[in-house]
Structures are given as structure tokens and as C-alpha cells.
Structure 1
């Protein structure tokens, strides 16, 4: 999403700067990687958000956000598929972990966090869904917070009053401007919300759209100092795996993707207590969603399953 926003304000200059700033690593496990990526065809990316801005070592934290981004051929729309953090899955062995059943967000921790943790998480998702990814990005929330601040904040619409469990903030209903700290605090809340973690997933999807909209609205091109700061903040907050595709080719493929073409998708599932532990369990294997992603039929699936498509 950030790459798409960068395309709005000057392709070649931005990609040149970004190439020098971004950290590149092999984030995808071989079992989760597509053999060859065609930027002009349908694309599937894995986005993993971590709360590294909190105290503690990387291996002790779990991935707070897991998104599958599906872009149909043509790059004119995108589907943000939020994977429930408590989804019960079988995690394969890796990086010293022997394998077994657990919540999907623990795969990152079992893998050791960082690059190896993302690799194990991608292998877990590939085993569950059969999806092979064209790339991945590991997002550091502290850096993402700085990006939002440099953009002048984002406009978020709060639908239900909620008190943060991390700070003393109370978010009141209504559309409002939020700085980076406020926005990230808001989208991490799930307790006391009617839909619990499903509401949290929707709020995270809305934040991605808000950032994309703000990027296109902000006059970065006429402010080279601010532009450079934003690019450095973006590069500092992301570790990427492009599956060997040059960054400029990806930006070109996504240049026609506007913010209002984003669609939020929730994985068909339901909460369930198992041995006194709260999990999320798939409905009928995901109700055909993963097959639709693999078969590039997501638009048709979304029209047939409006319950699981969220407005952004």
C-alpha cells in the first residue's frame, strides 16, 4: 500500500531513493514463495505487522497484524484479507520449533521473530491456504507511526467508543484526525468492541486506506525536505521481499490503484473455546476464500459473500 502511495508523487525519483533505504531480506519460506512473479498478472502479498516499538526481545513478541493483499490482474483494485490472530492452525517445524497446533500469530514467535519468524509464518499460511506469495513485507509499527506523523496524521472514523488498554485514551465516535500514535493505538484495540478482533481487523484495513489517501492528498512533490523524510521513514519501517522483482516494476504495476479501490475481507470463521483457550476456527475451510485467491476469482467470491466483505 505504501509503494502505491509513493507512485502518486513521482515514480523514478522515489523508487531510486527507496531502493537505497529499504531493508531487503528473504521473508518467504520456499514453500510459500511463487516460483515466478508476473507484475502484470494477479499478485498476492503477505504483510506482517509487529509491535517492536514495545519493550522486550523480538522473539518474545507475536505478530499483531497478518494481511494477505490480493491484487487482480490490471492493478486497479486490491483486497485486504485479514487473518485472525487467534486462528487455530498447524505450524510446521522450523528454526528449532518442533511444530504443532497453536494460534497463527504465535508462528512468528516460534520462528524467532524477524526474518525467521516471518518465514515460519509464511510457511504456516501456505500450508493452510495453498497460496503462494509474490512478496512479503514486515512492518515495524514504530516506523509506521513516524510515517503517519510526517504525513500530518490521518482521518479515521470511530464507530464505537472504546478505551485503550495500552494508554489512557478514550476514542469517541465520529470522524477525527489522528496522529501516528493515536491511529496505531486505535487500530490495536479489540476488547469492548462489538465484533472483538473482527472489528480490530476492519480498523487496520481502514488505516491502510487512510494512509494511502493521505499520501495522495499531501503535496510532497513540492516539499523535497518532507518528501525525503517520508521516504526515509517508509524505508526504516519496512523489511521487504519482492521475490526478485525490481521495485520500479511493482510500482508501475500498482500505479493505477486508488484508495477507494481497496476492499476489506474477513476470513469466514468464528470464535471457539477449546480446552479453556479462546481460538478462532475456520468456517468450512474458509468458505472457498482461499480457493478464490488461488484461482483469481476473488471479485466473484466477494460478490457472493457480502457478509465477509467490509466497507473501508
Structure 2
């Protein structure tokens, strides 16, 4: 695996909201001005409801200790229907062991069949054997009121906890895919290895939205091999799930995309340009809503500064569909996933993956 110069706090820079840093041979410094700018840029909200908060150190900063579990949810607002309540289109969990020197990223299928509990905040009575993606929708939707993304995230988090046994999360993040595209644009795109042929259901070869055109317009195609993806291409590529491997392929591509983003965000051309890094942070702030249980984006960035891209493993959880065609009901994970969740909850992921190397994505 190719190493990058920067640590995981640079992944935090893009995916968790961003920090300005000055890198040097002697370490790194988060400047006071940069810290203030970052914390003002990122939207915050109460995503979890009442939970214990991190204790503060003598300087007033949150003292973050491991192990950590951070819930990341991507929503994909539909431009043709802006009033529609959001779906949890992408659900990921970043697990950081107690030592805070490595991390594991894994995904849950959007159509995973789960029990969604009652949610008083949205006057939702609960739903059994439903798709995970709907938890965000049910929690965000309330008759006669605007859609509430924070409430939707809260119900989705409780649903994920019930399914995985991960009883609480140390931070949460909602990523608006449309806004996230601006981050990639500010970075100048990303370099990825396309590992299989992918045909887009969303765009034509020249980038036009297919749903706006009559008939059956041609599809944009991503052929295997190394490729530089523009912002719109990257977002389109990682959204595709109607391809060989279905949503499990999409999960892999999204994880690969995050790793590519780490590489680009930690490149010298970005870190040594205050203007360019500032634009990335501003774009990230527009795309993100964050809840760190009393800790800020910068607190997490400092706590995770020692984790490099080469210390972040991508984990694959195998599963299969229930029903096909018109009888399709959703997805179910294989029994090994429950064993993995137990390892996450007990902070034994290293040991578990040592016996299940097949679960590591490349």
C-alpha cells in the first residue's frame, strides 16, 4: 500500500471538517487562527441526544481517549424533489482502538434489513424488518414540519446500535454528497484505480443527468485501470450500486475513494498552500454536520494526528440479498459480521482480523 506524507487528521480535514496545519520535521502545529476558522466553518448539531461528553483538559480542550467509534452517514438529496426527507444513502463506521494509532473503516448496506425502533422526536412508532436507509427518513420526517436531518441521524444511530451491539458513538457526521463534491473540486479531483467496469445510471458520457433526458440516453462508463476523476466523476462513480456486486461493490468503492482522498488531501501541494487549504475547509464546512459529544473537529484532529493512511484498514462485511427482482426485500450480512461487531464493541479488532484476513479490502 502506498504511504502518504500526512496522518489521518488530514482525512479528518476533508471528511470530518478540516484543520489548518503547519507540518514540519519536528511535528505539527494547529494554529489558533486556523483552529477558530475550522470550528466556525463546520456545522454542528445535536445528532445523538443526551450522552456523556468528553472531559476537558487544563486548556479547556476535550480530552479524547480510545477506543472510539465514529458514525458517518452520507445523504443524497434529490434535486428533482428537494422537499423529500433524506435517506441514509451511505453508512460507515470508523473504529479507532484504544491506542489511537490505527483505524478500521467498515460499511453497512443501505438496504440492510433491520428493526427500526420507535422515535418520539419524529412521532415514529417503529418498524420491524425494514431497510436501514429508511431510518434516516423516518426520523427526519414529521407531518407538518420541515425535514430534520439531525433527528433522522439520531434514529439511524439508535438503529445501528441495536443491530451491531455498538452501544454508543463518540462522534457523528452527516455528509451531504452534493456539497461533498465541492470538497473534491477544491482538491482538483482524485486519483483512483478503477477495479471493475462500472456503468453509470445517473450520467451520460458528456456528464448530463440521464433523468433529465427523454428515452434511454447513453451511460457514462468507467473502465478498469488507473484514472484521475474530476469531482463530478468521483461522486458519480462511488454512487453506483446497480453493477456487479451491487451495494457491496459500492461500499468498496466508497472506501477506496476515502483512501484516495486521504492521499490527495495530505499532498504537499495542498498542505503548503494556506489559500487552497482554506478553500477545502470552507467547502467541507458546507457539506458537513458534526456532533463530537462536546469535542470539536479540531479536538478529534489532534487526537488522531498519529494515524497515517497506511494505518487505516478498509473492512469488507460479506452479505447477500433477500429476494430478487420484484421480490427483492433487502440485504442480510453473513454471520461473520456479528462476530466482527462483537470484536469492535470489545476493542479486539486486531485479533479478529488476524484470523479473518479475507475481510480486508484492498
Q: Give the structure-2-normalised TM-score.
A: 0.79
Cα distance per residue 1:180-199 (max 9 Å; x no partner): 11001001112222x21111
Superposition deviation, residue 58 in structure 1: 5.7
Using the alignment, how far apart are the partners of 1:179 and 1:85 within structure 2? 25
Match of 2:35 in 1: 15
Match of 1:104 in 2: 132
Superposition deviation, residue 117 in structure 1: 0.7
Tell me the secondary structure at the aligned position of residue 99 of structure 2.
coil
Whether 1:279 and 2:345 are equivalent positions in the alignment is no
Match of 2:252 in 1: 202
In 2 relative to 1, CA 251–68 (structure 1 residues): closer, same or farther, beyond 3 Å?
Answer: same
Asked if the contact 1:46/1:137 (under 8 Å) is kept, the reply is yes
Tell me the secondary structure at the aligned position of residue 111 of structure 1.
helix
Using the alignment, how far apart are the partners of 1:19 and 1:53 within structure 2? 28
Using the alignment, how far apart are the partners of 1:152 and 1:165 within structure 2? 24
In 2 relative to 1, CA 258–271 (structure 1 residues): closer, same or farther, beyond 3 Å?
Answer: same
Match of 2:222 in 1: 171
Whether 1:61 and 2:61 are equivalent positions in the alignment is no
Asked if the contact 1:44/1:70 (under 8 Å) is kept, the reply is yes
Q: 1:3 aligns with which of 5, 8, 12?
A: 12
Match of 1:298 in 2: 349
* Alignment coverage as a number of residue pairs: 308
In 2 relative to 1, CA 218–49 (structure 1 residues): closer, same or farther, beyond 3 Å?
Answer: farther
Using the alignment, how far apart are the partners of 1:109 and 1:136 within structure 2? 17
Superposition deviation, residue 210 in structure 1: 0.8
Superposition deviation, residue 271 in structure 1: 1.7
Whether 1:156 and 2:192 are equivalent positions in the alignment is yes
Superposition deviation, residue 8 in structure 1: 7.6
Tell me the secondary structure at the aligned position of residue 270 of structure 1.
strand
Superposition deviation, residue 48 in structure 1: 0.3
Using the alignment, how far apart are the partners of 1:8 and 1:304 within structure 2? 39
Q: 1:137 aligns with which of 169, 173, 176?
A: 173
Asked if the contact 1:72/1:78 (under 8 Å) is kept, the reply is yes
Whether 1:114 and 2:149 are equivalent positions in the alignment is yes
Superposition deviation, residue 76 in structure 1: 2.2
Asked if the contact 1:53/1:142 (under 8 Å) is kept, the reply is no
Asked if the contact 1:135/1:242 (under 8 Å) is kept, the reply is yes
Q: 1:84 aligns with which of 109, 119, 123?
A: 109
Match of 1:240 in 2: 290
Greater Rg over alpha carbons, structure: 2
Tell me the secondary structure at the aligned position of residue 220 of structure 1.
helix
In 2 relative to 1, CA 286–221 (structure 1 residues): closer, same or farther, beyond 3 Å?
Answer: closer
Superposition deviation, residue 7 in structure 1: 5.2
Using the alignment, how far apart are the partners of 1:147 and 1:308 within structure 2? 30
In 2 relative to 1, CA 230–224 (structure 1 residues): closer, same or farther, beyond 3 Å?
Answer: same
Tell me the secondary structure at the aligned position of residue 323 of structure 2.
strand
Asked if the contact 2:74/2:90 (under 8 Å) is kept, the reply is yes
Tell me the secondary structure at the aligned position of residue 45 of structure 1.
strand
Which piece of structure 1 moves more, 167-176 or 245-254?
245-254
Q: 2:44 aligns with which of 24, 43, 47?
A: 24
Match of 2:214 in 1: none
CA RMSD of aligned residues (A): 2.2
Asked if the contact 2:13/2:281 (under 8 Å) is kept, the reply is no
Using the alignment, how far apart are the partners of 2:19 and 2:181 within structure 1? 20
Using the alignment, how far apart are the partners of 2:287 and 2:307 within structure 1? 22
In 2 relative to 1, CA 46–135 (structure 1 residues): closer, same or farther, beyond 3 Å?
Answer: same
